[in-house]
Structure 1
Amino acid sequence: MPIVVDIDVMLARRKMSVGELADRVGITPANLAVLKNGRAKAVRFTTLEALCDALGCQPGDLLRHEPDGAAGADAEPTHDGRG
């Protein structure tokens, strides 16, 4: 999956449980688990904002892009300006 959700990392850093985070964000623990485990198809900006507020972090601390396959395997060739 190209988008990786790192909620577990932030929960560990904040020493917070899934249940506590779900309460603070205003979603069910089941819905938080779907998001946390990378099974969500989308996330609302309001939910992302609430997660960041509750965890004291930035969106980039929770989400990152990790391309499928080997690094650079599907990348476009770069041009160095020589020709």
Structure 2
Amino acid sequence: MADQAERGHIAAAGNTVVPALLALEAAGYRVSKLGELLEATSPDGSSYVADDPVTLLGLIKLVELRSWTWHATDAEIDSVLTRFGWMH
């Protein structure tokens, strides 16, 4: 088990929901229910909405890496679809 933890391996599963919520709160996000969804609001007022805390973390990281212009271009979409074999 220690070897696995040292290498780093994690999978999205039920046991990641609470740690993800705790991580969001530790990072300063206010998390609240929005109907059936969750909303994470950053200290600067930015807002993220998702089904679960793990997905919220993913959205936050997406914006961190690509900024608020996170959308993929047509060329990026085509490249990824081809690379992963998702083109029909």
Q: For the superposition of Structure 1 and Structure 2, which TM-score range results when normalised by the shorter chain?
A: under 0.3
Which structure dedicates a bigger proportion of its chain to strand?
2
TM-score, length-scaled by structure 1: 0.26
TM-score, length-scaled by structure 2: 0.25
